[in-house]
Structure 1
Amino acid sequence: MDRLQKAIQKAREERQSRESPPPVMEQPPRHAPSEDACDARWQSVPEIQIDPKLAVRNRLASLAGGGDATPYDMLRTKMLQQILSNKWRRVALTSPYSGCGKSTTTANLAFSLGRQEDLRTIVIDFDMRRRGLAEILKQTGNHSMADVIQGSVPFHEHALRYGKNVIFGLNYTPTRNPAEILQSRRAIEFLEQLEADYKPDVILFDTPPLMMSDDSHGFLRNVDCALLLAAAEETSIDHIDVSEQQLAELTSVMGIVLNKCRYISGTFGNEYGSY
């Protein structure tokens, strides 16, 4: 009887060894790029040249800094305080509908952040139905961020660098199906790879208006927070309320920015005499 039990146990062990999966070889950990490699990657991006006269024509008040940039510098500082305290990185700018100045605000925030030399900022235009930031910055090309996401063109060939610490990803051509692209797995993978390769401190996204289409509704779940832009004397309180509710269902609402305000000269800091 004892011999029979041993034979049964031996047969059971042999059967289990045949059914068990082969051992999985551990993959060596993928190391993040070194700081030197990251710096080299930033500097390899083609540099953008912006005509100073463009600042006046396209309301790029923070391009050169100074007193005219103060409202955007204040917004930058308040935004950074929330980013640091909440450990956020991805910030979307959106609005109830077009014409609220979100693209102009995005560009000005980028230049304001660029004057903080210890910060790396990437600006991505995901409002893919129009040229948006490319038109404001007067840049031309043949591709869009949709082409980058879909792998038609590498990001480092498509992007443009301003100074040493700001990179723009623009749209030079409109995209026919931006909602599907922004909600795709490829968009998520692109963002993950972007952060791994460039290690930005802040990523600003110029995203589509909330009430014009569903383009941004799927994507906004992939950001840490969002700023809602409203136009003074144009955007109704009802539209702001509805947009804020929609935004709160998708991500954290950092705040509401009232744009296109009419204020008297001297409101920002003139008592110091240096502005």
Structure 2
Amino acid sequence: MTRNADGSEAPADEEPFLVAASLSGAADAEWARDAAEHVDAALLGGVALDPASRAAARDLVARGRSEFLPADPLAFVADQLDALADAPVRPGVNVRSATPDPIRAVAEVCADRGAVCEVNAHCRQPELRAVGCGESLLREPERLARYVAAAAGTGATTSVKVRAEVPGVDLVAVAERAAAAGADWLHVDAMDAEAVVADLASAVDAAPAGGEADDLADLTLVANNGVRGRETVAEYAGHGADAVSVGRPTEDPPVLARVADAVEEWRAGTLRRREDETGPEPEVRP
């Protein structure tokens, strides 16, 4: 097994696990501690790192969105991760940048603390897309690969948060390029196309085994969107996901506990679908 920041055992990536997905302006160390009883990993942020992404984040705040805008983003990330050093959860941080160098710098902070560095290729706000952040990276897989390589080169576990149903984007091709660049996790917001997880899982399963550590065959698929309990966890498990994540339910303890129970059943091999949990998850705020 891998270990959490406090030294306790955490599920290895080959075991089903539960991730608390970043919520913009809300997912800090206190949020992660509150969720730690139920989740295996908690991704803080998203945090804008460079001048362009920070300017976009300020524009978002001006129109009412909650954002993290610390004076020193790297120091903020370090402080937040250090605050979780004794927490029974694996920490990480979702980050945005218009260039790869800040990704490398924050990934070094993560690597030093055994934390996950998640490259945000997910946000769809026009302000962020205009400066080359978030979803725009899905249409530029070579640039995304440079971001991933910058993070992975530090030794940090590297996740890429992506979104389904982006016109003109082939997520399997994106996954292949990200994995070749060193991505460990692909964190997939399935939107209303949950079967995209099955497409990705099929590609991972079909990839040659025994290659380099960064091959597609080693990619861990984390499924996000609409996870509410046994029914939705079982659906994503059936599609071939390795893990699931929750956003808004991290702020709804009964739902979070229900999802955690379902993931525990998944781990134990006793998970069965029930038609008693419905309702889509509102979009997370990465």
If the TM-score is normalised by the length of the shorter chain, which range does it land in?
0.3 to 0.5
TM-score, scaled relative to structure 2: 0.36
Q: Using CA pairs under 8 Å that are at least 6 residues apart, name the structure with larger relative contact order, 1 or 2.
A: 1
TM-score, scaled relative to structure 1: 0.38
Larger Rg: 1
More strand by share: 2
